[in-house]
Structure 1
Amino acid sequence: MLKCYDCSEENKVSEAVGVCIVCGKGLCMDHIKEVELPMKGGYPLPHLTLKKDLPRMMCRECIDATIGDIGCV
């Protein structure tokens, strides 16, 4: 079973429930964050915007490096 990367750095052991979409590390419920990112179409539908943002799972470090606190659930 995949273990939480952030917990292992704190000398703890817990099972991961998801993976950060940016860096790919496994994360437990305490370390994973849900971020709603607006999705816009590309080729072949460049002007298409989805009606609803799609939830994505990220680690706190990647959120801070990419979008900060904007959009964090």
Structure 2
Amino acid sequence: MKCYECEKENKSTDTVGICIICGRGVCENHLVREKIPVLEGEYEARLKCMGDACELKDMQPLLKILCKPCHEALKENF
């Protein structure tokens, strides 16, 4: 899969992640990876308990991958 943002710039770069909000494939130059607030609505993403992970009380939240346009939209609304 190729990066959506690079394709708009007539470049061909492999995708390294998928935006958790819009589903676009993005390369390392067009992604933001950080903790984001819990989203409510049709884009809500929830982690399910698997195996021994349920017993860990101090399990750290996972970082989420966002494309830069979705990251900017989130920053404007929080």
User: TM-score with structure 1 length normalisation?
Assistant: 0.68
Q: Which structure carries more strand by proportion?
A: 1
Q: Higher relative CO (CA 8 A, sep ≥ 6), structure 1 or 2?
A: 2
Which letter does structure 1 place at the counterpart of 2:17? G
Structure 1 unaligned blocks of 5 or more: 40-49
> How many angstroms apart in 2 are the aligned matches of 1:38 and 1:64?
14
User: TM-score with structure 2 length normalisation?
Assistant: 0.64
What is the CA-CA distance between 1:67 and the residue it aligns to? 2.6
Equivalent residue for 2:16?
17
> How many angstroms apart in 2 are the aligned matches of 1:33 and 1:67?
12
Moved over 3 A (4+): none
For these two proteins, the number of residue pairs brought into alignment is 60
1:9-48, aligned counterparts within 5 Å? 9-37=8-36
Percent identity between matched residues is 36
